[in-house]
Every structure is written in C-alpha cells, then in structure tokens.
Structure 1
Amino acid sequence: MLNVTKLTFDHETAPVGLDHAPVFGWQLTGDCRDIRQTMAQLQIAMTPDFAAPVFDELLPGKNSIAVQAAGFAPRALTRYYARVQIKADTAAGLQTSDWSAPGSFVTALLDPEREWRAAFISAEDADTCRESSAGTMVRGDFAVRPGIRAAYACTTALGLYNFYLNGTKVSTDEMTPGWTSYNRRLLYQTYDVTALLHPGTNRAGAMLGAGWYKGVMGLTRARNNYGDRTAFSMQLTLQYDDGTTEIVTTDASWQGTIAPVTFSEIYHGEEYDAALELPGWADAAAPDAAPAGRWHGVETVTYPAAQLYAQAAGKVSVRNRLPAQRIFTTPAGETVVDFGQNMAGRVEITVTGGPGDVAELRCFEELDADGNAYLANLRKARTIMRYKFAQLGTVTWHPQFTYMGFRYALVVQWPGTPRAENFTAYTLHTAMEPAGQFQCSEPLVNGLHHNITWGLKSNFLDVPTDCPQRDERLGWTGDAQIFSETACWLADTWTFYTKWLTDLVADQLPDGGVTDVVPNIEEHHTEGNWLMRTSPYGMSGWADAATIIPWVVYKMYGDASILRNQYASMCRWVDFMTAHTRGDLFTFMTQLGDWVALDAEPGSFFGATPTALTSQAYYALSARILALTASVLGKAADTEKYTAVYKNAKDAFIKSFFDAEGTLTAQTQTAHILALRFDLTPEKWRAKTVQRLLQLLDERGGHLVTGFLGTPYFCAALSENDCLKQAYDLLLKKDFPGWLYQVAQGATTVWEHWDGRRPDGTMWSAGMNSFNHYAYGAVGAWLYSTVLGLGQQAGTAGFAAARLAPRPGGGLNWAEGWHETPLGRYALRWEKDAVKTNVTFSVPANAEAELVLEPGAQVIATDGIAFTNGTARVGSGTYTVQYAK
C-alpha cells in the first residue's frame, strides 16, 4: 500500500504567517521495496473538502523536495489546504496512492509596506525610559459583529511581548518577536485568533519587556542598543461571512500602564511584584481592578513598515519540562536546587507566602571544588528571578522575558522551607523537530551525543548563541559555522538557519565584510572591547558562515532556495576576501585563527597555527563552495570565475605553506587537518602530510591540542585518509584533553574549554569558562557519517542518493541510529562479534542508496542484494546483510 505522509510547506508542517507561496514537500511510505515516484498531483484549496481547488496540477518526475506550485499566487491572511496523490514504480509494480491527509498553511500580509496600518504604541515614559528595564502593559477594546468567519492578528514589538485576547494568551510562543537586526529587519507573527473572539466588545492586550532591544547586551554591556522605548503593534483583520472585512489596529486610543514585571533583562533575570497585578486587565468582561489613574494614554513610536517581515515558524517555545532532582545544602550553608541537566530556559516555582515575602533564585551551571555554587563564570550576569508577594497565598510563577543557562538554582530567599517539588525547569529554544539519534556500545560516547544534543537545545534560542549563561549569549558566526552540519543531523534546522542567515545578510557591510556576531549588536559600540576594536568583521572561519552554512543546509535538505537567497551575500564575502589579498593570500585586520587551541603560548588564546594559514585555508574553502553553488544554480560564468578564484587561493596556499619537499611550514595539528580536510594538499604529498599529522598526534600522547578551527575536522581528516583506528582512538580518549573526559567528569553539555573543570575540581579562568558551549560538539557529524555510516553520494543533496558505509572500530560492538531527511528516515544498525558483522538498514521511499562495506568484507548473507566488491546499490526498503572480515 502506497501512502503519502508528512506534507510540508517551506519544510514546516503547519506554518502560520507565510508571506509568499511556499515550496511543497512530502514523504512516501509503502509495504514493498524500490518505491520511486513517477508523478504527483498537487491540489491547493481554500476549503478542506477541495470542492474548488485554486491549484490542481500533475507534476511529472520523482521530485518530492521543495516542489514549486508554478502559478499559485496566494492571497493575504488566508488559510489554504493542500493534498497530494502519487503514482510510483515499486518492486510490486505500478501503484497509485490515495490522497494524502490535507495539510494547511496560513498566509500573512504580502506587502507590509503598503498593508501595515497599525501604529507602534508605547506605555513607557519618554523621560525615564532610557534607564528602565521594567515591563509595561497596553490594551484596547474593539467590537466584533455577529457572523465572523475568520480573524487573523499580525503582532510585533520593539522589545519582547506576550499577546492576549479576552484574557487568554494567544499562543505558546515565547520571547517574541525574537532577535533580529531590529534597525533593518523586524519580524511579526501571525495568529489565527478566530476561536478567541466573540460578538460584542472584545479586548486585546500585550505585556512588554526590554529584551534584546533595549536591555543591557553585548560585549560592551551597553543598553538601548536598538532603541530606548518598548512598543507594541497589532493589526487584527476580521473576515465576516458576508464577505466584508474590518481591520482593528493599535493606535493612540489604547491605554498603557506599568506591569508587575518591575525589571527584566536577558542577562540579569526578572523581578516581579504581585502588588502591581491587575487581574483581568486584558479581558473586557472582567471587573476593572485598576486604581484611578493607573491606566494612562500611550504614545506612538515610529518604525518603518517596509522593514517588517513575516515569521511563519521557528519561534521559541517551552520544549522540555524537568522536575528538580534534589535539593541540598552546600558546605557554605546555601540551599541549592539541582535539575540534573545543564540547559537554557527558566525555573517555575510554586511557593506559599504572605505580604512582602520574597522568593528569589539565582541560576548557575556548576559547583566548585568544595561543592559550593560556582558563580564567577557568569561574569556580570546576575541571572536572578525574584517574586514578591502581595497577599497570603500559594502561587506558581515563572519569568516571562528572560532566560538563563543553568543546571542549578541557588535559593537566595524563600518563605518557609523549600522542597524539590517546588521547582520545575522548563527549557526554551526554537521549535525544531528532532532529526537524528545515535547510540553505541560505549556509554561514554552515548553521553557525548547527549551532551552535543543539549548544547544545541541550549544555544538555539532564536539565534545560534555561543553560550546561554554569562553576559554574552551572542550569535558568533564562527561557532555557528563550525557546528552547522552537526546541528542538521540532530534537528530540523531549515527554518532556524534561513531566518538567521537573513540577518547575516542584513548586517553584512557594504564592502561585503561579515560581522563577527549576528545580529551585530556591537555595531555602534567599539569602545571597551579589544576584539571590537581590532577586528569587528572579516574574520576567517567566522565570516565564512556566509558561505559554509548555506552550502551545508542545501546539502542536508536538497532545497536550492537557500543558495538562491544567500547567493549575492556569498559572492560579496568571497569578493571581499579577494579584494583583501596580498600575493593571493587573504589578510585583513586581526584574525582569531585556531582560537583557544591548547598549543597556544601560556596566557594566550591564540593557537600556534599561523592565522595567515587558517585565513587562506578558509578563503580557498569559501571560493570552492561558491563555485559549486554557482554550478548548482546554473550560473556558468560565475562557476568559471569562482573556480579560478579557488584554484588561485589553493595554489597560493601550497606555495606559501608547503616547502619544496612537501612539508607544511606550520608544524601544528590544525595546519595538517585543514590542509587535508579542505583538499589543499597536493596528491603527491598527501601521504606525507597524513604521516606527519599522526606524528604530531603521537607527540601529544594521542591527544588533540587543536582549537576552534581544527577540532571539528580532526576525526574526519584521519578517517578520510585511511587512519580510522587513530580517529577512533582520538574520539575515545577518556583523559584530558578529550571529548569523553568531559563526560567522565559529569558534564551534561559540551564545555568551552577541554579542562573547564579539572580533575581536582578547580576551574579554568572564570572570564571565559562556559560549561554549555556547543562548538566542540561538531564531532557529532562524524558519529553519524562515519561511525554509523550515513552519508551522501558525491554530487547529490537532500539524501536522494545516500552512501551507507558503516565503519566499525574502536572496540565498539555495535552502533545504531537514524536521521530524518526530507524524503523520510534513514536508519542503520551494525553489530559485530569475533567472526561476523550484521548490518541492518532502511532507505526511505523515493530514495536510493549505495551500500559500501568495510574493505576486505566477505559477504555471507545478501538479503537479495547484488554485491560487487563489497558494494551494492539498493532502492527503498529495509535490508539485513552479514559479512565476515
């Protein structure tokens, strides 16, 4: 039986707020092998019965990823339904599926510059707002006639907001409208609010916080980085059965007041005074509890509608609930709550108190060597949450406009005796479906995979931050590009990356330079931070996020739209590098190079690999990626142009960093890793370069001493050059420095430094000692691609043609895992004993795979597959093979 499942629109299952016609995608399932789509019929309608489709076309071919509905022009603020029927060749013959279950998507405004009528309104006092991080509330009443058919609210804010209709919070979204380059681009959210309205008087309201917009942020710890007044904007469109439409907007008639949130900032936490609560404040049917004069008029704030952009998906929400594991008293006599997992989010408390009582926590990551709260690595971040009672009672409360990175909470104040059941942690991050899982026979490796996954969950809160706990939490481009492939293995990151890359373009400088952090909150604050003074943009390995991430996402998802959208930016970055070459070597300002490598001079963060080498390696890599991108997009002239740039960059690398005998002039692990992994080593010198890398590894007792640029590629550089044993040995090191050392130390996320906490419990320098820093978790991609053996055939994308090549080693007895691709799920398990190895794998419908067994494998059981020299080609289905070696 052939079935169509998981219908998607711009890679999301039910987006609300698309400002364009989406691309469509679907997955197939069936009860036989070798399913290959030959034709699809796509219907789009405005009713779920499809009585009058607005699009109905037969689409020949096998494509089911990013399918265009040519000629479909959606209306604004409309719900559309779509369904698909498939014809496919299968091992059982030609089959036709039933129609898929309908999926739906909702459009937003299609031209905000012309259509957005709502004012931005602020309840903040213009004379005091610059120094205030207190919350405010705004509200307004409006009438709804009988016979309402649909209602859509488009909402956004300068600052953070929660939106209410008739006393009900409209969505589960948190931290809206997210963090963008606000002065160039502000997202708005679209909500179907039909069910929340009723005939008669209705009330809309919003509570606002400072957030990233005006709170203290960045390396310079400046405030008011984008503006100094929070403001809310709402455009509510009411559609009636009689065909008429009414629009309700925020305007000067609305009211504003102070909120019970008396302080809220990203770094410093939130304070709440229950005495300022106004029950029913956003519900017109509730009695007005406000004292006279509490509500006052609002003022309008100017923001250009042309800079408003719709956000249909990828919003932040609560993703996990973790009850407290224990509560204990430290040697210093302090009460600490342990949630058992380092994370990013907030703590919800249930507490009983009376007027004036205070419940206060301070969130933190680690205990020091004595078992006391370790707060030094938070730097200036206060990370507090404080609730003040107004009357006797029991309340359940959590912050609204902040988040913390933490495993522990220090109980600073508490009425009565705190118990573990009083505390629950909730994680916050961008909504992303899990896309992969990995397990093997070594528990510490499973712990590493767990830590990598939680590093992603902790740092993918609207932007890819470096860390979630201290006074930084910035979208460092280097961390993002290093981890991007691993992130795509772990989670469905399409929407997340396309959103953030759009901000990268918005902040890209006129000369093509790419900023160190995106959004570039440091744009106007170069004083007081050495990096912002010496190299605020144009850093190799960091700025290359402009080319590397679009290419990685394209390869993982098979949708070239990300390349089309980013292409001009990619060209500008490579052209920037070309413009800043001397003798064909890229050189520009200060470069971080192999940042925080262990081969650095004492007291330095700069690794021993010359930054000239790392810069040139990334110049060549970006040029090569751009040439490949141009080829995918059919840009023949640009393909030729950037292929030449790549060849020149590679030739200059070889000329500058290899001597006449083929020895790299920089005798560091990272130099050899990049030369091999980026294909910058002449073939005649490859074996010599590999052998020297092994020697450098042996000189360190089999340990890595690499930093940000070398570490992600170390295992791959070894395994791709017939050094699988050494790659496994490196992965499985349990002492410092190594991935499993952190796991053995009790880490539940990946650390910023290999020895963030030493075996004796002492800490690395507190100034830069995050215990939740995902960059070194980039080894996760190697777990999937090599240990498990899931990969793609050369020249393909989106896993339409996989290459399954499991490589047992390291004493592991088995490994298993899966990865969800746009076509469906690939799964693989291998297990071995002293005599044989079994491999069971699944290929999704409409895909094909090449199975490549270990060199020297002697096939015992084929499951009907034809092998040639240990290699077989298969279509979709589940297979089990057995071989001896």
Structure 2
Amino acid sequence: MLTPYALTTDGRAAPLGIDERTPLLSWRLTSERRGDAQTAYRIVVTENGVTRWDTGRVESAENSGLAYDGPALHSRTRYDWRVTVWDADGAEAGSAESWFETAVLHPDEWAGVWIARDPDVHPPFDPPVVDDLTDRVRHLPAPPHLRRAFRLSEKPTRARLYATARGAYEPRVNGSRIGDRELAPGWTEYRTRVLYQTYDVTDALQAGENVLGAVLADGWWSGFVGFDSRHQAQHYGDAPQFLAQLVVEFADGSTRTIATDSEWVERPGAIRYADMLMGQYEDATQAIPGWDTPGYDASSWTPVKIVDEKPGALVAEPDEPIRVTEDLHPVSVTALTDGRHLVDFGQNMVGRVRLTIHGAKAGRRIRLRHAEVLEDGELYLENLRTAEATDIYLAGGAATEVFEPSFTFHGFRYVEIVGYPGQLHARDVVGRVLHSDTPFTGSFECDDETVNQLYRNIRWGQRGNWVSVPTDCPQRDERLGWLADAQIFAPTAMRNADVQAFFARWLTDVQAAATPEGAFPDIAPKVAMITEGAPAWGDAGVIIPWLLYRVYGDKRTLERSFDSMTAWIAHVHRHNPDLVWRHRTGNNYGDWLQVDADTPRDLLATAYFAQSTALVAAAARVLGKDAKPYEDLHERIKEAFNDAFVEDDGRVTGDTQTGYLLALAFDLLPSHLTEPAAARLAADVEKRDNHLTTGFVGVALLCPVLARHGRADLAYALLHQDTYPSWGYSIVHGATTIWERWDGWTADRGFQAAQMNSFNHYSLGSIGDWLYGGVAGIDQAPGSVGYRELLLRPTVGGLLTWAKASQETVRGRVSSGWRIQGDDVVVEVEIPPGATADLLVPTSDPASIRDENGEAVPGPELRLGSGTYRFTASR
C-alpha cells in the first residue's frame, strides 16, 4: 500500500517552536507495488481536536513544500496534522500524522529584557595558583550563573520556556538541565537577528517554589572567533547577555509569564572561564551545590543588570540544533613520562572529552590538551595557531568526579591528560561527538576498503564542520563559514544528509553580510576579512539556493534569495563591462591549494560569472520572472570567455586541469571544441601518471567531467591513486577525515606550514558527490526537481567488483548498486513512488539484459516506474 512517512514541517520532524506564518508540510512515500504513485492527497490540520484547515482531496502528485493555507496561526499553539494519500489507481491508501508548535509570533508578546552581569561587581578570573595560563585566557570572565525563584499555586498543565542569548547558554529548571542543545542559540549574524529556542518544561515544574536558571558563556558573541590578530574576540559585544520568558498555563485556562527582569540574580560558579577556541577552566572547589534548586539561599547573590529593554530581531530556531550525537571510546591509552597519558580515539572528531576521575584530592589540577595528529609521539599543536584547545579541571575532592566542559569544542583525535591521579583507564575517557544534528540520509559502500575509508572521511569531515555554520575547520583559530568551501561541498553534503533547513538558515546570514552594492562576502557570519567575495566564494550566494531548489524542491528559499542573487550578478557586471571578470575580485584565491598548476584567476572568475548568470536565469524561469536579460548576458559572457581564453584547437589558457574542468562542466565551449578540450584534460592526467593538480575549486568537477566524456577509466584511476597527490595518499598515512591540503603531510617533507594545515577540512572531499552519482549512479535528469525524474547510470570500473548507494530524497528512498558476478554484471535499483527513472545498464551486449525473472529486456536504456528491480547482463 502507498504510505506516507517522514512527515516534516519546514524541513523538521515535529518542530517545537516555529514562527513561519505559512509553514511548509512535506512527506515521503513508500510502496511495495511497482509503478505506484500518489495521485491525490488530503491534509487536515487541527487545533485541540478542532479542524483549522482541511484541503479536501487535492488531485496532485506533490508531496513536498505544501504551504499551510488556513486561518492565521496563533502563538504558542500546537497543531496536529494528518495526510492521507491516494495511489496510482485513485484508491485511498495510507495516512500518517505529525504535529508542529508555533513559538512567539508577535514581537509585542516578548516580556523579557536582556540581562547580564554587572561588569563592576565581579572581577575577571584570577587563577588560584601560578600556572601556565596565557594572557589570552588568564583574565577571561567567569560565566555567570543566573537564577530566578518563583512560586506557582498549582502544577501547570503546560509550560514553555523561550530562551536565547547573545553568547551561549545552558537552561536549567529545578536542578536539572533542560533539553539537549549544545552551544545554543548558535551563531548567526547577530547584528541582524538572534535565534531563540523553545523548551517544553511542563514536567519540570511543580506547585510551590520553582527555580529557573541558566549558565551564560561568551560563545561566538564575545569569545575568540577567527584569526584576525587585530580583532580576535568581542566581535559583537564585550560580554554575554540572556533573554528568556517562561509561559505557564493552568487548568482553568489562565497563564503566567516569568521573564528575564531586574529580579534575577547572578554569581560565578565552578567554571572560571569558557571559550570555544581556548577551552574551559573549571574549579570544582568553587561549585555551588543546589544553586538552581528550590530552597537554596541566594541572598548573597548579585542583582543582574538590564542591558537592553528591547528584544530586537528574534527568530525561532529554524533547523536542528547542535547536539552530542555519538560517544567514542579510546582505541588506546598510553602512559607517558611525568605522569602524562596520551589518549587515541582512533578518529579525528569534533566535540569534547568526558573524563571520570577517581580519588583526586581537592584542588588537584588536571589538564587536557587536544590535537589532530602526532609528531614523534607527541601532540602536534603548531597548526592550532593561537587556539589553545586546552581544558583544565581542579578537582573538588569527591571520591568520583566527572569533568565534561560545556561551552567549548575542539577538533582532535588525540588528548594529552596531565595530572590524572593514578592509572588512567580507557573506560574513564569518552569522546563526545558534537555537531549540528542534520539527519544523515545517504550511504555509500563498495569492496575497496580505501574508497570506503575515503567515504567515511568525507562524512566525518561534514559532521565536524557542521557546527552551527558550515565552517572550514574545527580546530585552529578560524572556524569560519567560508562560502566557497560550502558551495563546492554542498552537492556532497546534500547526498549525505538532509541539510535543507541548515543551509536555508545560513543563507540568511550570507545575504545579511552582503555589501550595499550587492557583493556577497567570503565568509558568513562576517567577523573578519570584510571584503567583497572572491570568484567561487561570493558565487555561493547564487549556487546554494539553486541547489536547494534542485535537490529539495525548495522554491521558498530560492525566492527569498533571488534579489540578492541578481544583485551579485549586477555587481560583477557593473565592474566588468567587457564580461571578463578581472576587477573587484576581492581576495581572488583562484583554485585554492592547487598542486603543480596555475589556473589563471581571470579565467576561473569569468567561468563562475557565466555559471552564476546561467543559474540566475534558471531561477528566474522557475519563479516566473523575466529570464531573458540573464540568458542574453550568459551567452555574451560565454563569447567573452572563448575570445579571451580558448584557442581554435580547444586549448584553454593555462592548460590546467581546473581550466578545462570549468570550461567543460559549465558548458562554456562551442560544441566542436568540447571533445578536444576533454582530450587535453585527459592527457594532462595521463602525463602526470594519473595524478590530479586541482585545488578547492576544480576538485569536485574532476571525476564527473572525465567520466562524462568517456574517461571513467581515468576517474577510477584517480579514485584509487594512493601516491601523492591523491585522496588515497592521506588515507595510507592514517587520515580519518579530509585534509585541508594535499600536502598536509608528506613522507619527504613532513608537515606543511603550520599557519595553514588543517587535518579536518571537507572541501577536497567533494568527490563524494561522484561516489553517489557516478560510481553508484544516482542522479536526476537536467530538468528534474527533487529527484522526480531519475537518471540511474552506475559506472562499472576501476578495482571495484561491487558498489552501492542509497539516498532518502524528498520523494522517498532511492538506491542503486551493481556487482560483477562471473561474466555478468548485476544491477539493483529502487525508485520511490511517483518518480520515474532512466536506467542505463552497464553492458557491452544490450541484447543480454535479463530481469529478475530471466526475461529478456530490450536495452541498454530502460524506462522504469517506481519499485525495486534487478537486472543481469553480460559485462
């Protein structure tokens, strides 16, 4: 039976707290019957059992992004919704239910004010002993513990806490932490908006005295961010602030609001400082037992200071928050000299360590330092630059204590622990993996373990750098939202996980950071290097909205982005009227970190100018706007590109792999020069003994373009290559994430320059898109949106004897796999209801194709409806 599943509202399953007035409802479909499809749907939205919106039966195959069109939604209200679908025969089939809850829909409903520590009351942290603290951290402020006691006449029937910070906060009610969010509210362009979170605290409250509390840290607001030595911290403010309101409902329908105001009090606690780059210092002897529980005497605490009476631009959290999603256990714990222990988690990860301590005397100092790699058996720390990545714990004296920092995160595989009492056992150390909790929806596997490790490295790189924004690296003093890294990796990211809401939210910061002239920045949120975006960097503001539309059918984000997309094109055009992009190129990084090649920067820039213009034209057509000016401009840019950079024999200026890849992938060449250019690309790979030269910009295009032009053999040769430079080289030398640069470490030169040498960057992992789309063969037709019209093109080749991949698309599950079985190849695919697929069976003898029943099937191209299929053919 045709059945809907994975219901979402605005891209999230059962979101608690949204402020979209017309939320988008979606579901996926599954059916055991071939050729099944949704022919109609009915959505019913209810409030307390009363129907608010009933679409009736709608004759439509659409199942994604359907806008609520009922009466205006109320604030702080739960809505249940149910979808029923009709199958390919027009018969009523399955149904499913979900819900969403609105947050604070009207600004005047905010009763709270922004509160903070009075800076004249508590002096900066002064360490209790002479130690190795640097000037960067020695006088950081201790995070305030905020407290507000209140009484309730009865236990409430419903209670919601709406909270946020300019900084990072952890909410608490009656002695317990509320929720599982980390580093809330996350990082946005705080000058234009701050996210707030909604918590269900009904069960945490009681009749009588209650306590609402929070611990408040610097976070991205006033902590260390980026690498600009002239301005390393306090980019938005000089101290964190907190805003919250608790809305309590009683059985008689009455409500009460407890909000941040002058009645809150604060004092420092065990955390003496906390910074995301530097680390956290916790002194358990200064802990405040029971500080957030009823009955605690807070008469000596200090009143807070009201720092802002207006809530400002607040937006309900629109995507999944940062969470701890996995625990890793050490693969080894080694006792070193001087009482040190070296812990190896076997995986370069992002997060923190939870350390259990036994029998430590009060005041014993335990230090944890984090690193990605080792040098001569010791932590390699030089590549962290000014990030100290050091956590310190002063024991409280209990028989057993647990230290787990809460307001910092590190990129690391290894941890050096100094000062631990006695022998450290593996069971007492846990790596807590932390990242934005985007649901992982894709998988890839094959019979080459090196390729499998490459795929795992790609996924771990995505996890580690998806921390509120798509950062470049998680370990050193940078961790910024670089636009080029994001747009280059976005196709791979969208294969691995559902990142629709994540990217849509971040794009708002990208657009907010644009200049008045329309130039996107290099990074967003914009805290450093405040310049106009470089080619391929600024273009992310055009490319990512288009990808969200193609992959998820996200027309709303495309529409909201359109004006900024056109402004970017206008900016580039205005300063380059001859259509060769040489002026106003920002920092113009070119093909960043290319190897033994020098792709002309104006060539790369002009290629991106053409591609972004083509995408704006496509977006205009989708949105019903006038596309012709952009279509015409695109054709003229192509002419300018060919006049400036292409010779009559197909040679592209610079004669580099990336130059040919851009020309071919962006369809910039006249048809008669396409194959000569492809041949020159292939020849360059071959003359280098099947090695690449591409940097950040070219690498994603390399294998797809080669395969598309008949050289899948070279694409596979590059995939399997394990000598420098290659993906395999890092894996042979122990990489568990993608390195920033091909030569991060080499056998003959050792480590590259420490000033720029991350061992967890995702950009060069953009080959992941080809693993799904080329090796396994999952793709969609050029005009398809949301995988409605699939192209299944599995590529048999290289050293592989089998490969398979799957993706949860907005339609449902798609899978494609192949295996060599003697002289035959067996292909198995799955197509979701409502989608169609053109399958190209990889065979040398189309007449040999047989289905699972042994029946002959004319091929090699097969037109398939939904369902699961297996075909066998001669190789």
TM-score w.r.t. length of structure 2: 0.95
Give 1:129 shift: 7.1
Give 1:11 shift: 1.7
Paired AA for residue 363 in structure 1: H
User: Which residue among 182, 185, 188 is the counterpart of 1:177?
Assistant: 185
> Matched residue of 1:536: which SS?
coil
> Is the CA contact (8 Å cut-off) linking 2:114 and 2:311 kept in structure 1?
no
Does residue 216 of structure 2 align to residue 208 of structure 1? Answer: yes
Residue matched to 1:561: 556
Does residue 733 of structure 2 align to residue 738 of structure 1? Answer: no
Inter-CA distance 594–153: structure 2 relative to 1 (3 Å threshold)? same
Alpha-carbon distance between aligned partners in 1 of 2:242 and 2:69, rounded to the nearest angstrom = 37
Alpha-carbon distance between aligned partners in 2 of 1:594 and 1:85, rounded to the nearest angstrom = 50
Alpha-carbon distance between aligned partners in 2 of 1:855 and 1:551, rounded to the nearest angstrom = 34
Paired AA for residue 67 in structure 1: L
Alpha-carbon distance between aligned partners in 2 of 1:768 and 1:426, rounded to the nearest angstrom = 26
Alpha-carbon distance between aligned partners in 2 of 1:627 and 1:330, rounded to the nearest angstrom = 62
Residue matched to 2:459: 453
Residue matched to 2:128: none
Give 1:565 shift: 1.8
Residue matched to 2:663: 675
Query: In the TM superposition, what whole-angstrom CA distance separates every residue of 1:185-236 from its partner, at most 9, and x where no partner exists?
Result: 1111111221211222211000011111111222214221100121111111
Inter-CA distance 435–866: structure 2 relative to 1 (3 Å threshold)? farther
Inter-CA distance 649–329: structure 2 relative to 1 (3 Å threshold)? farther
For residues 551-590 of structure 1, the aligned pairs below 5 Å read 551-586=546-581, 587-588=583-584, 589-590=586-587
Give 1:755 shift: 2.2
Residue matched to 1:625: 615
User: Which residue among 665, 689, 697 is the counterpart of 1:709?
Assistant: 697
Alpha-carbon distance between aligned partners in 2 of 1:632 and 1:517, rounded to the nearest angstrom = 28
User: Which residue among 378, 383, 388 is the counterpart of 1:382?
Assistant: 388
Gaps of 5+ in 1: 523-531, 601-607
Alpha-carbon distance between aligned partners in 2 of 1:141 and 1:844, rounded to the nearest angstrom = 54
Does residue 233 of structure 2 align to residue 237 of structure 1? Answer: no
Give 1:53 shift: 4.6
For residues 547-696 of structure 1, the aligned pairs below 5 Å read 547-586=542-581, 587-588=583-584, 589-599=586-596, 608-635=598-625, 637=626, 639-696=627-684
> Is the CA contact (8 Å cut-off) linking 1:189 and 1:312 kept in structure 2?
no
Alpha-carbon distance between aligned partners in 2 of 1:834 and 1:689, rounded to the nearest angstrom = 37
> Is the CA contact (8 Å cut-off) linking 1:190 and 1:312 kept in structure 2?
no
> Is the CA contact (8 Å cut-off) linking 2:777 and 2:793 kept in structure 1?
yes
Give 1:736 shift: 0.8
Residue matched to 1:526: none
Give 1:371 shift: 2.2
> Matched residue of 2:476: which SS?
coil
> Matched residue of 1:709: which SS?
helix
Paired AA for residue 14 in structure 2: A
> Is the CA contact (8 Å cut-off) linking 1:669 and 1:705 kept in structure 2?
yes
> Matched residue of 1:146: which SS?
coil
Give 1:350 shift: 0.0
> Matched residue of 1:138: which SS?
strand
Alpha-carbon distance between aligned partners in 2 of 1:6 and 1:834, rounded to the nearest angstrom = 39
Give 1:696 shift: 1.5
Does residue 7 of structure 2 align to residue 7 of structure 1? Answer: yes
> Is the CA contact (8 Å cut-off) linking 1:217 and 1:223 kept in structure 2?
yes
Alpha-carbon distance between aligned partners in 2 of 1:229 and 1:333, rounded to the nearest angstrom = 37
Paired AA for residue 370 in structure 2: C
Does residue 48 of structure 2 align to residue 38 of structure 1? Answer: no
Does residue 834 of structure 2 align to residue 860 of structure 1? Answer: no
Query: In the TM superposition, what whole-angstrom CA distance separates every residue of 1:705-736 from its partner, at most 9, and x where no partner exists?
Result: 11111111111111111111111111110111
Alpha-carbon distance between aligned partners in 1 of 2:210 and 2:317, rounded to the nearest angstrom = 26
> Matched residue of 1:818: which SS?
strand
Residue matched to 2:871: 881
For residues 79-158 of structure 1, the aligned pairs below 5 Å read 79-89=78-88, 93-100=89-96, 102-112=97-107, 114-126=108-120, 132-146=140-154, 148-158=156-166
> Is the CA contact (8 Å cut-off) linking 2:339 and 2:418 kept in structure 1?
no
> Is the CA contact (8 Å cut-off) linking 1:866 and 1:872 kept in structure 2?
no
Give 1:702 shift: 1.5
> Matched residue of 2:515: which SS?
coil
Alpha-carbon distance between aligned partners in 1 of 2:30 and 2:91, rounded to the nearest angstrom = 12
> Matched residue of 1:340: which SS?
strand
> Is the CA contact (8 Å cut-off) linking 2:778 and 2:792 kept in structure 1?
yes
Alpha-carbon distance between aligned partners in 2 of 1:884 and 1:310, rounded to the nearest angstrom = 56
Give 1:275 shift: 1.9
Deviates more, 1:740-749 or 1:843-852: 843-852
Give 1:359 shift: 1.7
Paired AA for residue 842 in structure 1: E
Alpha-carbon distance between aligned partners in 2 of 1:331 and 1:796, rounded to the nearest angstrom = 62
Give 1:38 shift: 1.2
Does residue 372 of structure 2 align to residue 362 of structure 1? Answer: no
Give 1:146 shift: 2.8
For residues 711-860 of structure 1, the aligned pairs below 5 Å read 711-759=699-747, 762-854=750-842, 856-858=844-846, 859-860=848-849
TM-score w.r.t. length of structure 1: 0.94
Paired AA for residue 70 in structure 1: D
> Is the CA contact (8 Å cut-off) linking 1:166 and 1:202 kept in structure 2?
yes
Query: In the TM superposition, what whole-angstrom CA distance separates every residue of 1:322-342 from its partner, at most 9, and x where no partner exists?
Result: 011111146998521001100
Inter-CA distance 57–148: structure 2 relative to 1 (3 Å threshold)? farther
Inter-CA distance 54–584: structure 2 relative to 1 (3 Å threshold)? closer
Alpha-carbon distance between aligned partners in 2 of 1:138 and 1:150, rounded to the nearest angstrom = 23
Give 1:811 shift: 2.6
Give 1:640 shift: 0.9
Give 1:394 shift: 1.1
> Is the CA contact (8 Å cut-off) linking 2:249 and 2:255 kept in structure 1?
yes
Does residue 276 of structure 2 align to residue 280 of structure 1? Answer: no
Give 1:499 shift: 1.2
Paired AA for residue 517 in structure 2: D
> Matched residue of 1:198: which SS?
coil
Residue matched to 1:225: 235
Inter-CA distance 202–57: structure 2 relative to 1 (3 Å threshold)? farther
Alpha-carbon distance between aligned partners in 2 of 1:790 and 1:374, rounded to the nearest angstrom = 40
Inter-CA distance 835–542: structure 2 relative to 1 (3 Å threshold)? same
Paired AA for residue 194 in structure 2: L
Give 1:571 shift: 1.3
> Matched residue of 1:773: which SS?
coil
Give 1:582 shift: 4.3
Residue matched to 1:160: 168
Alpha-carbon distance between aligned partners in 1 of 2:191 and 2:38, rounded to the nearest angstrom = 46
Alpha-carbon distance between aligned partners in 2 of 1:204 and 1:134, rounded to the nearest angstrom = 20
The alignment of Structure 1 onto Structure 2 pairs a total of residues equal to 853
Alpha-carbon distance between aligned partners in 2 of 1:724 and 1:833, rounded to the nearest angstrom = 21
Give 1:125 shift: 1.3
Inter-CA distance 338–67: structure 2 relative to 1 (3 Å threshold)? same
> Matched residue of 2:387: which SS?
coil
> Is the CA contact (8 Å cut-off) linking 1:46 and 1:54 kept in structure 2?
no
Paired AA for residue 658 in structure 1: V
Gaps of 5+ in 2: 126-138
Alpha-carbon distance between aligned partners in 2 of 1:776 and 1:169, rounded to the nearest angstrom = 39
Residue matched to 2:129: none
Alpha-carbon distance between aligned partners in 2 of 1:149 and 1:243, rounded to the nearest angstrom = 9
Superposed CA RMSD: 1.9
> Matched residue of 1:648: which SS?
helix
Residue matched to 2:19: 19
Inter-CA distance 306–808: structure 2 relative to 1 (3 Å threshold)? same
Alpha-carbon distance between aligned partners in 2 of 1:51 and 1:498, rounded to the nearest angstrom = 32
Inter-CA distance 267–187: structure 2 relative to 1 (3 Å threshold)? same
Alpha-carbon distance between aligned partners in 1 of 2:309 and 2:758, rounded to the nearest angstrom = 37
> Is the CA contact (8 Å cut-off) linking 2:649 and 2:676 kept in structure 1?
no
Alpha-carbon distance between aligned partners in 1 of 2:339 and 2:269, rounded to the nearest angstrom = 35
Residue matched to 1:267: 277
